[in-house]
Every structure is written in structure tokens, then in C-alpha cells.
Amino acid sequence: MIKSKSLVKNACSLFVMLAVGACMVTWVPSSLASSAPAAAEIGADGKVKNDSPPAPGIIQVITHSGPTGVFLWILLLACSLAMAWLIIDSFMTISKAKIAPVTLIKSVQEAMAVGDLMKAINYCKEKPTPLANILMAGFTHVEDGFEVIQESVSVQAEVETERMLHRVSYMNVIANVAPMLGLIGTVQGMIAAFTTMATSQAGAAQQATLALNIGEGLWATAVGLGQTVPAMIFFQFFKNRANSLALHMEQVTVESIKVLRNAEVEVEK
């Protein structure tokens, strides 16, 4: 119970960190753009006057990008939410306490120490976890020789690793899709910029619209790349954690079965 509370607490803390990070991604560039000094003009009275409009924020950028741009921003937001959910889910599921519980290891090792194979099998059936599946793969081939046991355990460990990484692999998909969506937004902004140059007269209004169109494209690229970096980091992190747990479970299984060489195995028929 305490471990589950700790997992929930860690997940909530991670969610808050991700939310703060998302806010920083959208707020910091906007605040920097808003605080950037505008072009100043000197009036007839000698005083500096500033008639430049404030820099647009992220909301204005999204609403001004048109139907296609809004659709791209919705996809980028969906990628952000999916990545946050996958990270929280992976922290809660790919953990040693849930994949290879200590209570199961101790129970199986105690049963194997006295040669009670059926008792160890019952423990595995009572607690169906990836470790239990790997142990069962070894127990079912206990009469076929140690080499066969090792091969069965290795195969089952690979299967359990693939199951653990099934959802984690979507982080890699997000890491590849998000920058592509940002690039599409950049291309759209450049198309709008060149369209503005071709259809409007030269002047301050044209320059302002041109800069806004280019800014919209760069915003999309920045957000897409901002999602790619954490997605790649967490993908590798959870991939390494899953592989480490798989090796740990293999080791526990092989060590437990080795005890059978020095103990009498009781097999109930």
C-alpha cells in the first residue's frame, strides 16, 4: 500500500513538472517576444514615441494560422497529452515493485530451497506478473535439462520485455511525428509569407504580415522540437529500465532453478 501511494505521488509530481514545462514552452517565448524592444520613433517634440503593436502571443498565433494551422496545433496538443500520459503510465507500470515483486521472489526461493516445485508454481499462479511468467517458463521445462531451461527463460524474458515496451514505443512515434508536424506548420507559414509578398503592396503593413506569417511557422517548429526532446529521453530511459528488469528476472529465475540440483523436487501428480 505504501509503495502504491509512493508511485501515485511520484506520478502526480511528474505530471505537475510536465504541466509546468508545457506552460514554460508556451509562455517564455511569448513573454520574451512581448518584452522585446520595439522600433522607436522620435516625435517633433523630441520625445521618443512607440506606436508598434505588442508582439502576438501563442493564442493569437494559433487563431491567426487558419483552419489548417489550427488542425496542426490540435495534433501537436494531442501529441503533448499522449506523451504526458505515456510517461506517467510507464512510471507506474515499468517498476520493479510491479514487474518483479520481492514477496514473490522470496516465496519462490523458499519453496525451491526445500524442493517443492508445485508450491513455487502455485505462488506464480497466485501472482501473475512478468516475473511469474518467466518463472513458469523455466518450471515447465525443469525435466528437460538446464540448457533447455535457460533457452525457455530467455525467450520468455524477451516476450515480457516486448510487452513492457509496447506502450513505451509510442514515445518514439511521437518523437518522430511531432517535428514533422512542426515542419508542416513552418512550410504553411512560409507559403503564407510568400503569398503576402505577392498579393500586397510593399510597406509597413506588408512587412508586419510577413513577419507574423514567418513567426507562426517558427512557433510550430519550436513546439514540435520541444516535444521531441523529452519524448526521446523518456523513451530511452524506459527502454533501458525494461531491459534491466528483464535481465534481473532472468537471473532470479535461473538462480531459483539451480537450487533444484541440490534439493529433492516434489511434483504432485
Question: pLDDT per position in the chain (269 positions), as tens?
Answer: 444 444 444 545 444 444 444 444 444 444 444 444 444 444 455 544 455 555 566 676 677 667 777 888 899 999 999 999 999 999 998 988 888 888 888 888 888 887 778 888 888 888 888 989 988 888 887 777 777 878 888 888 889 889 888 889 999 999 999 999 988 888 887 887 777 777 766 666 667 777 777 777 788 888 889 999 999 999 999 999 999 998 888 888 888 777 665 544 444 44
Question: What integer pLDDT is reported at residue 205 of this predicted model?
Answer: 64
Give the count of beta carbons closer than 10 Å to the beta carbon of residue 110: 13
d(CA 216, CA 80): 19
The residue extents of the domains of the chain are 2-35+54-262
Q: Exposed, middle or buried, 62 (CB in 10 Å: 0-12/13-18/19+)?
A: buried
Q: Write the DSSP assignment of the chain as a string of letters.
A: -HHHHHHHHHHHHHHHHHHHHHHHHHHHHHHHHHHSPPPPEE-TTS-EE--PPPPP-HHHHHHHTHHHHHHHHHHHHHHHHHHHHHHHHHHHHSSHHHHS-HHHHHHHHHHHHTT-HHHHHHHHHHS-SHHHHHHHHHHTTTTS-HHHHHHHHHHHHHHHHHHHHHHHHHHHHHHHHHHHHHHHHHHHHHHHHHHHHHHS-SSHHHHHHHHHHHHHHHHHHHHHHHHHHHHHHHHHHHHHHHHHHHHHHHHHHHHHHHGGGGS------
Question: What integer pLDDT is reported at residue 57 of this predicted model?
Answer: 65
Question: What integer pLDDT is reported at residue 236 of this predicted model?
Answer: 94
d(CA 15, CA 10): 9
Question: What are the angstrom distances between the C-alpha of 24 and each of 40, 68, 254?
Answer: 29, 25, 48
Question: What integer pLDDT is reported at residue 231 of this predicted model?
Answer: 93
Question: What integer pLDDT is reported at residue 69 of this predicted model?
Answer: 79
- In sequence order, what are the residues at sequence separation of 6 or more whose Cβ sits closer than 8 angstroms to the Cβ of residue 175? 227, 228, 231, 232, 235
Question: What integer pLDDT is reported at residue 264 of this predicted model?
Answer: 44
- In sequence order, what are the residues at sequence separation of 6 or more whose Cβ sits closer than 8 angstroms to the Cβ of residue 4? none
- Asked if 11 and 92 count as a contact pair (C-beta separation under 8 A), the reply is yes
Question: What integer pLDDT is reported at residue 9 of this predicted model?
Answer: 47
- In sequence order, what are the residues at sequence separation of 6 or more whose Cβ sits closer than 8 angstroms to the Cβ of residue 72? 65, 181, 184, 185, 188, 220
pTM metric for this prediction: 0.69
